[in-house]
């Protein structure tokens, strides 16, 4: 099973230690059964009390030790899986993540890991049950190998019948899990499209009945069918135990000469076995769900790993010594094509050639769908060009140094994410700098900062963008990108952005790219690039007179 392979890869040594301890526990359990049988068949067994207490102690110690080892192993496995999966997601190219969809990523990170964590948590009890079963079966062999062979044959038939149904159940669980990706997409639609759904009753009702309800109903149907199979398997398992008990007590003595004491021992041991066997049957759904979740995680991890980007070589890490504060970014005949939702034609950008100079403000303008955001992702290195060349200060960018190249940019995209901490900006005077910027951006009455943590990020969209600008200030990168930053600002701050904030960055020698529709400020740009249908329609360098 994939699940067992996963645990063995985590730490095979711990598995061996736990297995040995579990087997010792099972042996002690078998010895206890033997001792109980002896006690039942004898009148005076007071001398066996110490032996009984010793076996009980050994059983508890070995069982508990096995569980301790497996608990640590299982939780470490989940911990490493979460970290590795998150690292793979962060290492994957942006366009690959966009193709997978956030709903699939969230379903894997939340539900699959949760299911797997639950499955791992039952491993210690399963091992104890298995050890008990092995010990009791060993005792049955010791009692009578001939009787054991007959009973084992009956048990094997029952196990085969049960196992033949499990494949169908796992298929049903797998189908339900695939449907869960669609359900997560619908949940995202509820979270992000609440306003649109509330304003249109017919849309809301159709979404609930045809989209969300359809996925939820399919999941329910498949899970019910799978669980019914397990209910039948559980019933078959219990029937098998009773059948074995009845066969041993009422049929076997007619064909095989057996003593009443041995029959009593078999009956007692078989009854004792009922509890661990039923426990295993009840946990089979957890194991199959865990196996489905692990396969889903492994497929996702493999897909991400295949697309993983190269890490930054040590010689290319961002340090004050190897990064110039004045960088020239150039694109030469760059093209890019993507195919959203399997569209054969998709959208094509380029060929585009442009130059962004230090100490210069470039406006990128154009209509919706003209390719501005795609070009911005190409410029910042989030998308690799399909053809053409991207360079910074004459250094050509390829796969081996693209991650290093991206570290030159501070960007605030239109769909930006605001973190609660100033991550990656650790320095002794961080709070002092942040407070100064909070005052400049008129946020000091709303937000405070302590140890690099903002007191709140629950602000209006315009204020959130100002807080994102504060973070960009603290990063102090040589190239700045603003994607419609001023669109959510009031007139006062919009004026401040174009006439003061950009000017200050320009005076520091920063390379600045601004995506904007604010034509009343076009005269303040050093360069204006107009994009239409993925092509540069015009590229205008402004003179000092024109800017004035």
Which of 269, 285, 306 represents a domain boundary (last residue)?
306
Residue 370: half-sphere exposure toward Cβ, Cα within 13 Å: 19
In this structure, the answer to whether residues 363 and 333 fall within a common structural domain is yes
- Say which residues have a Cβ less than 8 Å from residue 247's Cβ, sequence separation at least 6: 150, 151, 154
Is the CB of residue 18 less than 8 Å from the CB of residue 73?
yes
Q: What is the mean pLDDT of residues 380-400?
A: 93
Q: What is the 3-state secondary structure (H, E, C) of 300-347?
A: HHHHHHHCCCCCCCHHHCCCCCCCCCCCCEEEEEEEEEECHHHCCCCE
Tokens representing 17 are 């230690």
Q: What is the CATH number of the domain that holds 35?
A: 1.20.1560.10
In this structure, the answer to whether residues 302 and 409 fall within a common structural domain is no
Q: How many helices (H) and strands (E) does the chain have?
A: 20, 12
* Top-ranked range on mean pLDDT: pick from 5-14, 77-86, 248-257, 304-313: 77-86
| CA dihedral of residues 436, 442, 445, 447 (deg, nearest 10) | -70
More confident residue, 220 or 120: 220
In this structure, the answer to whether residues 29 and 170 fall within a common structural domain is yes
Please check the confidence at residue 252 and state whether its pLDDT lies above 80.
Answer: no
Please check the confidence at residue 247 and state whether its pLDDT lies above 80.
Answer: no
C-alpha 314, offset from chain centre: 28
Residue 189 domain-assigned (yes or no):
yes
In this structure, the answer to whether residues 298 and 324 fall within a common structural domain is no
More confident residue, 168 or 383: 383
Please check the confidence at residue 114 and state whether its pLDDT lies above 60.
Answer: yes
Q: What is the mean pLDDT of residues 494-522?
A: 93
Residue 160 domain-assigned (yes or no):
yes
Please check the confidence at residue 349 and state whether its pLDDT lies above 80.
Answer: yes
In this structure, the answer to whether residues 277 and 338 fall within a common structural domain is no
Helices 213-246 and 145-192 pack at an angle, to 10 degrees, of 170
Instruction: Report the domain count for the chain.
Output: 2
Which of 241, 275, 306 represents a domain boundary (last residue)?
306
Rounded to whole angstroms, how far apart are CA atoms 85 and 489?
38
Name the nearest CA neighbour of 22 among 73, 68, 72.
68
Tokens representing 309 are 């980007």
- Say which residues have a Cβ less than 8 Å from residue 384's Cβ, sequence separation at least 6: 93, 399, 402
Please check the confidence at residue 314 and state whether its pLDDT lies above 50.
Answer: no
Instruction: Compute φ and ψ for 244, nearest 5 degrees.
Output: -65, -40
- The reported pLDDT for the residue numbered 507 is 93
* N-terminal to C-terminal alpha carbon distance within the chain: 73
Please check the confidence at residue 542 and state whether its pLDDT lies above 50.
Answer: yes
Is the CB of residue 475 less than 8 Å from the CB of residue 450?
no
Q: What is the CATH number of the domain that holds 474?
A: 3.40.50.300
Residue 72 domain-assigned (yes or no):
yes
Confidence at 320, pLDDT banded by 50, 70, 90:
very low
Per-residue pLDDT of 35-92, as tens digits, reads 777 776 664 455 567 777 777 888 778 777 777 777 777 777 778 888 888 888 888 8
Per-residue pLDDT of 178-206, as tens digits, reads 888 888 888 888 877 877 787 788 888 88
Residues forming beta bridges with residue 334, ordered by sequence position: 352
In this structure, the answer to whether residues 258 and 325 fall within a common structural domain is no
Residue 159 domain-assigned (yes or no):
yes
What is the domain extent for residue 285? 2-306
Q: What is the mean pLDDT of residues 216-233?
A: 85
Residue 313 domain-assigned (yes or no):
no
Distances in whole angstroms, Cα of residue 68 to Cα of each of 61, 125, 273:
10, 11, 24
Local structure of 257: helix, strand or coil: coil
In this structure, the answer to whether residues 233 and 335 fall within a common structural domain is no
More confident residue, 518 or 291: 518
More confident residue, 433 or 169: 433
Instruction: Compute φ and ψ for 362, nearest 5 degrees.
Output: -110, 130
Which of 306, 333, 356 represents a domain boundary (last residue)?
306
What proportion of the chain, given as a percentage, has pLDDT over 70? Answer: 88
In this structure, the answer to whether residues 325 and 468 fall within a common structural domain is yes
In this structure, the answer to whether residues 288 and 382 fall within a common structural domain is no
What's the full length of the chain, in residues? Answer: 548
Q: What is the mean pLDDT of residues 112-126?
A: 77
Name the nearest CA neighbour of 6 among 301, 291, 299, 280.
291
In this structure, the answer to whether residues 330 and 290 fall within a common structural domain is no
Residue 507 domain-assigned (yes or no):
yes
Confidence at 2, pLDDT banded by 50, 70, 90:
low
In this structure, the answer to whether residues 208 and 346 fall within a common structural domain is no
Residue 311 domain-assigned (yes or no):
no
**Minimum mean pLDDT among 154-163, 185-194, 281-290: which range?**
154-163
In terms of DSSP bridges, do strands 527-532 and 449-450 run parallel, antiparallel, or are they unpaired?
Answer: unpaired
In this structure, the answer to whether residues 370 and 298 fall within a common structural domain is no
Count other Cβ atoms within 10 Å, centred on residue 222: 20
More confident residue, 296 or 510: 510
Count other Cβ atoms within 10 Å, centred on residue 297: 21
Q: What is the mean pLDDT of residues 317-330?
A: 65
Residue 312 domain-assigned (yes or no):
no
């Amino acid at each position: 099973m994939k699940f067992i392979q996963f645990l063995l890869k985590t730490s095979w040594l711990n598995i061996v230690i736990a297995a040995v301890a579990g087997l010792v526990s099972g042996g002690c359990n078998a010895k206890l059964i033997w001792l109980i049988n002896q006690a039942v068949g004898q009148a005076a067994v007071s001398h066996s009390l110490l032996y009984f207490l010793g076996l009980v102690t050994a059983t508890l110690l070995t069982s508990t030790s096995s569980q301790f080892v497996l608990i640590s192993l299982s939780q470490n496995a989940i911990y490493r899986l979460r970290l590795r999966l998150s690292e793979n997601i962060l290492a994957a190219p942006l366009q690959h993540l966009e193709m997978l969809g956030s709903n699939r990523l969230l379903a894997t990170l939340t539900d699959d890991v949760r299911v797997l964590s639950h499955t791992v948590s039952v491993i210690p009890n399963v091992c104890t049950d298995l050890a008990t079963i092995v010990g009791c079966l060993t005792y049955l062999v010791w009692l009578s190998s001939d009787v054991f062979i007959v009973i084992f044959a009956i048990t094997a038939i029952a196990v085969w019948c049960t196992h033949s149904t499990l494949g169908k159940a796992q298929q049903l669980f797998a189908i339900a899990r695939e449907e869960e990706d669609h359900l997560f997409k619908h949940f995202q639609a509820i979270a992000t499209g609440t306003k649109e759904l509330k304003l249109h009753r017919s849309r809301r009702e159709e979404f609930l009945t045809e989209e969300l309800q359809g996925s939820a109903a399919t999941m329910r149907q498949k899970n019910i069918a799978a669980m019914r199979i397990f209910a039948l398997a559980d019933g078959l398992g219990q029937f098998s135990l009773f059948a074995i008990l009845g066969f041993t007590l009422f049929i076997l003595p007619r064909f095989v000469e057996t003593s009443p004491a041995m029959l009593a021992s078999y009956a007692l041991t078989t009854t004792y076995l009922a509890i661990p066997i039923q426990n295993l049957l009840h946990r089979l759904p957890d194991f199959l769900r865990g196996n489905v979740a692990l396969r889903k995680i492994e497929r996702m991890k493999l897909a991400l790993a295949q697309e993983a980007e190269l890490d930054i070589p040590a010689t290319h890490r961002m340090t004050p010594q190897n990064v110039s504060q004045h960088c020239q970014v150039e694109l030469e005949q760059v093209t890019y094509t993507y195919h959203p939702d399997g569209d054969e034609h998709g959208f094509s950008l380029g060929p585009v050639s442009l130059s962004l100079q230090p100490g210069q403000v470039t406006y990128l303008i154009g209509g919706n769908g003209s390719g501005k955001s795609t070009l911005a992702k190409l410029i910042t290195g989030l998308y690799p060009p399909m053809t053409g060349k991207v360079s910074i200060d004459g250094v050509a960018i390829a796969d081996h140094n693209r991650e290093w190249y991206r570290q030159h940019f501070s960007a605030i995209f239109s769909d930006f994410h605001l973190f609660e901490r100033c991550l990656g900006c650790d320095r002794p005077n961080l709070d002092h700098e942040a407070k100064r910027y909070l005052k400049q951006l008129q946020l000091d009455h709303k937000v405070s900062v302590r140890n690099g943590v903002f007191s709140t990020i629950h602000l209006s969209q315009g204020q959130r963008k100002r807080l994102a600008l504060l973070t960009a200030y603290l990063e102090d990168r040589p190239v700045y990108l603003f994607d419609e930053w001023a669109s959510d600002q009031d007139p006062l701050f919009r004026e401040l952005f174009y006439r003061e904030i950009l000017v200050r960055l320009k005076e520091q020698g920063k390379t600045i790219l601004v995506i904007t529709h604010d034509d009343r400020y076009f005269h303040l740009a050093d360069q204006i690039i107009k994009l239409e249908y993925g092509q540069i329609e015009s590229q205008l360098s402004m003179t000092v007179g024109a800017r004035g």
